[in-house]
Structure 1
Amino acid sequence: MSAAVRPLGPDDHAAWRGLFTDYLTFYRTTRPEEVYTTTWARLMDPEVRMHGALAVAGGRPVGLVQWLYHLSTWEVPARAYLNDLYVSEAARGTGAGRALIEHVYADADAHGAATVYWTTEEDNATARRLYDRIGTRTPFIKYGR
């Protein structure tokens, strides 16, 4: 199964909602309806520097990626933060994840971004096998509040 990647469009809400919900479930979390509504509105607003794309295989969406651009004190160009990446269980190992990351890489290059970065859980072994091939692991540890 080969996946094609395309930007999210207004008609993709139902597919996006299903994949985003599955992504949150994968990370053992839920979010209130306001988060879904606000995130979708941001993704559809050309003035907001938040973007999304779907991986489509066999005529149906099998994955999603969402990223945003932000300024940095370390570089003049903006950075691209790959905020969310999800591929349905049935489509894992088919190249959909790689295609989604490469889509973000291409968009970041087109926008002159200094770098693309993302985080994942330490025990996310399946995804990390891909990330180790397509990215460079950094020595930074994430903290939060």
Structure 2
Amino acid sequence: MTSIHAITAADHDEWIRLWNGYLTFYASEVPDDITARTFARIVDDQLIHGAIARGDDGRAIGLVHWLTHPATWSTDDYCYLEDLFVAPDVRGAGVGRALIAHVTGWAAEHGSAKVYWLTQEDNTTARRLYDRVAAHTGFTHYEIGL
């Protein structure tokens, strides 16, 4: 059975392994200083929140990070699920669904109006899950790097 708990400083080595797997999956790189700052902010649990999933053997098998922000279309905050990663050898076993449910439960407890996230259009494996647990809004993401 998968267990999920808030990320703590003691999770660093397993978190970094999962984080690097996530970055590799998206063919991305994040400088070491940003990674260190990200982990510190998650452990601080004030603005960015994080949870780690563990399998029956205690091994870290997934991670999720999220944050909340005010919204113009609601008096309640929105919850943005920013990062979700499940180790490749356990995909399809319900870990991703459990991590999304963990964030959704947290967001409901903290008064968020909704949970939302982005993924790449060609992330078909994850999108099969997302289509079962959430509504696809039809929006397309744009950004300007500064």
Letter in 2 for 1:16: W
Match of 2:59 in 1: 60
| One-letter amino acid of the counterpart of residue 54, structure 2 | V
SS in 1 for 2:10: helix
Other structure's SS at 2:50 match: strand
Find out whether 1:93 has 2:71 as its counterpart. Answer: no
Aligned position for 1:16: 15
Opposite residue 24 of structure 1, the aligned amino acid is L
- Which whole-Å CA distance do the structure 1 matches of 2:18 and 2:69 have between them? 25
Q: Which runs of 5+ in 2 are unaligned?
A: none
Most deviating of 5-14 and 86-95: 5-14
Cα distance, 1:34 vs structure 2: 1.3
Supply the distance in 2 between the matched residues of 1:68 and 1:27 (Cα, whole angstroms). 20
Task: Tell me which of the two structures has the higher relative contact order, counting C-alpha pairs closer than 8 angstroms and 6 or more residues apart.
Answer: 1
Structure 1 position 7, deviation (Å): 1.1
User: What one-letter code is carried by the residue in structure 2 that aligns with 1:51?
Assistant: H
Residue 141 of structure 1 aligns to which amino acid in structure 2?
A: T
Structure-2-length-normalised TM-score: 0.95
In structure 2, the residue matched to 1:110 is: 109
Q: Match for residue 120 of structure 1?
A: 119
- What SS does the corresponding residue of 2:65 show, helix, strand or coil? strand
Q: How far apart are the structure 1 equivalents of 2:29 and 2:125? A: 22
For 1:18-51, what per-residue CA distance to the aligned partner results, in whole angstroms no more than 9, with x for missing partners? 10111010000111011111101111114x2210
- Cα deviation, residue 131, structure 1: 0.3
- Output the amino acid matched with 1:69: T
> Could you list the runs of 5+ residues in structure 1 that have no partner in the other structure?
none
What is the aligned partner in structure 2 of residue 50 from structure 1? 48
- The aligned residue for residue 69 of structure 1 is 68
- Matched residues, percent identical? 45
TM-score, structure 1 as length reference:
0.96
Give 4+ residue runs of structure 1 displaced > 2 Å after superposition. none
